[in-house]
């Protein structure tokens, strides 16, 4: 990772309106820097190098990112995001298992277990304003309403802006966005070979994941339009086994990226 998160994150300005189709700096938010409370929290979890509030939801709930593993030459930077849709609550077990285990080596890993804390609290797909966050990113965005409503404008939601700001600073080599209730690893990526590797590691089929409604404004589309890494969507089914999410998948992901405990 070329840029370390820390005090530099606070220098990002709070967002304004989109100025061009490729302008992302206008959306930047200011994630919080670590505090004494953060230090105490990370001390309770040996794998956590750094805990950070990267932004807040519509209802002012914190969006937390946990830095795990180590940095170094040849070590990949990976970001794992889950529960972008609040009613997809089981899938957060994967990043939480990575966070709560022993110290990790061999991979520079960030996990965001809950991107949509308001939706999680309300058990809804959308955020507190009824917006589907995975239709709200400013790449291929179109205005839609209803269950998959994209919001009044691109990146209108604080959760979206927080994630954009975070990813622009971390600049991961790989981004995995975990979802439910479909089943499979999406092939629509800059590097389909990466999708196939994840498919084999997690014992999931590869497929072209079908979006509900208009399939634009997704996080992976935005990431691959603005950053050089690869981003994929992984769908884990409606009722995945807890052992799969808490044990098998975390171990498989560490092996895939050269990490170990």
The secondary structure of 135-194, three-state, reads HCCCCCCCCCCHHHCCCCCCCCCHHHHHHHHHHHHHCCCEEEEEECCCEEEECCCCCHHH
Question: Strand 62-69 vs strand 77-81: parallel, antiparallel, or unpaired?
Answer: unpaired
Secondary structure class of 43 (helix, strand, coil)? helix
Ordered by start, the domain boundaries in the chain are 7-256
Dist CA 46 CA 149 (whole Å): 40
CB 47 within 8 A of CB 100: yes
Q: What is the tens place of the pLDDT at every residue in 6-54? A: 433 433 333 444 433 334 444 444 455 555 555 555 567 899 999 999 9
Lowest mean pLDDT among 22-31, 83-92, 112-121, 155-164: 22-31
**CATH of region 7-256, choose from 3.40.440.10, 3.40.630.10, 3.60.10.10, 3.40.50.970:** 3.40.630.10
Calculate the average pLDDT of the chain: 88
Dist CA 245 CA 247 (whole Å): 6
Mean pLDDT (whole number) for 139-157: 97
């Amino acid at each position: 990772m070329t840029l370390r998160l820390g005090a530099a994150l606070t220098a990002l300005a709070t967002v304004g309106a989109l100025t061009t189709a490729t302008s992302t700096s206008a959306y930047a938010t200011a994630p919080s820097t670590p505090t004494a409370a953060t230090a105490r929290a990370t001390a309770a979890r040996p794998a956590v190098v750094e805990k950070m509030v990267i932004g807040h939801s519509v209802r002012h709930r914190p969006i937390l990112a946990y830095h795990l593993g180590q940095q170094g030459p040849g070590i990949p930077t990976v970001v794992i995001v889950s529960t972008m849709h609040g009613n997809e609550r089981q899938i957060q077990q994967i990043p939480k298992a990575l966070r709560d285990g022993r110290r990790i080596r061999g991979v520079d890993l960030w996990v965001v277990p809950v991107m949509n804390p308001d939706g999680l609290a309300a058990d809804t797909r959308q955020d507190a304003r009824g917006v589907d966050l995975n239709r709200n990113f400013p790449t291929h965005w179109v205005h839609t309403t209803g269950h998959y409503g994209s919001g009044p404008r691109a990146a209108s939601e604080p959760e979206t802006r927080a994630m954009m700001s975070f990813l622009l600073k971390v600049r991961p080599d790989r981004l995995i966005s975990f979802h439910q209730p479909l089943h499979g690893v999406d092939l629509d990526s800059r590097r389909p070979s990466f999708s196939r590797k994840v498919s084999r590691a997690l014992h999931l089929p590869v497929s072209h994941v079908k979006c509900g409604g208009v399939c634009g404004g997704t996080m992976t589309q935005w990431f691959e339009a603005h950053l050089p890494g690869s981003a994929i969507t992984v769908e884990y089914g409606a009722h995945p086994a807890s052992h799969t999410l808490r044990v098998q998948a975390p171990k498989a992901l560490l092996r895939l990226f050269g990490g170990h405990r």
